Structure 1
Amino acid sequence: MSGPGTDLARPRVAVTSAAPELYQKLIDLHVTAERQAVEAGLAAGLVALVRVRASQLNGCAFCVDLHTSEAAGHGEDTRRLHALPVWRESGLFTARERAALALTEAITLLAETRVPDAVYATAAAEFSEPELAQLVWAVTVINAFNRLAVTSRIGPRPR
């Protein structure tokens, strides 16, 4: 049988150690994006939620594990973390968070959504231009990490 998830045990190239300079550049971009997001006024907890949601959509077990812990460290409620996949139906998220999550999904599922004008307009109404730019960068960077981790089959950290 073949298909998604059927070859998880097969070894893959460790892109992080096979191309350490590029990986370090991505880490540097992540650090810069995180700093600038906070400087622009985005709450660290919101950025963590965005990272978790993108990682869920991309099926990145490593990043879901990492950023769920990060969100909890920023004071995020466990109930909301569990409800993140059904954020639209839960009623647990603010209008600002819903706008960020909708934009995150649209960017992450770019080939399917093309980032609809309505989704973008809702986000633009909730966030200042600097915040919105940083939100787009946060989603872009986590998607890059997700693609590396999923392709390399990097799983959650051992506990």
Structure 2
Amino acid sequence: MNPRLNYTQSSPETLDTMMQLEHYARSRGIDKSLYDLIKIRASQINGCAFCIDMHAKDLQAMGESIDRILLLSVWREVPIYTDKEKAVLELTEYVTRISESGLPDDVYERVRAHVDEKEFMDLIMTINTINCWNRIAISTRMYPGCFL
């Protein structure tokens, strides 16, 4: 498999726009580990190997345990995530699959038990940002190391 195109070369404006969105999401004060857990979980759902690889390596570089990275797709089955992380991972799943059932009230309430309205919106923007990155990477057939 080869990438369809290198969007950073064919459309630098796309990269500039996405980097502005990324900068906004990163600047909101979300814990860095949680930020990358969100990115990996959405990327797992979307099937984006490029983004899973990138954010797993980011977490490893920060010293995150390999168990918390490898077991992320089964976060409900293991006791290694905090209640807040579990609520945010559930939010990530529902927002990533928004067309299937929207965002149920009980999921919203579980997240709001841990965050205020501002942080809730910061989480939504983070989830939206990684979903946008995933759609670019998947549509252009990016994979880990494809542009090295």
| Interval containing the TM-score (normalised by the shorter chain) | over 0.9
Instruction: Note the residue ranges of structure 2 that are not aligned, 5 or more in a row.
Output: none
- Report the counterpart of residue 116 of structure 1 in structure 2: 104
Instruction: Tell me the matched-pair count.
Output: 147
**Post-superposition offset of 1:11:** 5.0
Distance 1:103 1:78 in 2: 23
The yes-or-no answer on 1:156 pairing with 2:144 is yes
How far is 1:10 from its partner?
5.8
**Aligned counterpart, 2:66:** 78
Q: What residue is the counterpart of 2:80 in the other structure?
A: 92
Q: CA deviation at 1:156?
A: 0.5
TM-score using structure 2 length: 0.92
Distance 1:11 1:96, change over 3 A: closer
Q: Is the contact made by 2:3 and 2:142 (CA closer than 8 Å) also made in structure 1?
A: no
Where does residue 55 of structure 1 map in the other structure? 43
Aligned to 2:128: 140
Structure 1 alignment gaps of length 5 or more = 1-8
Runs of 4+ that moved beyond 6 A = none
Question: Could you give the per-residue CA deviations for residues 48-100 of structure 1, whole angstroms, max 9, x where no partner exists?
Answer: 10001001111000000000111222332111111100000112111000000
Instruction: Name which structure has the greater RCO, CA cutoff 8 Å, separation 6+.
Output: 2
RMSD, aligned CA? 1.6
Q: Per the alignment, do residues 113 and 74 of structure 1 end up closer, same or farther by CA in structure 2, a change over 3 Å counting?
A: farther
CA separation of 1:68 and 1:11: change in aligned 2, threshold 3 A: closer
Identity of aligned residues (%): 36
Is 1:14 aligned to residue 16 of structure 2?
no
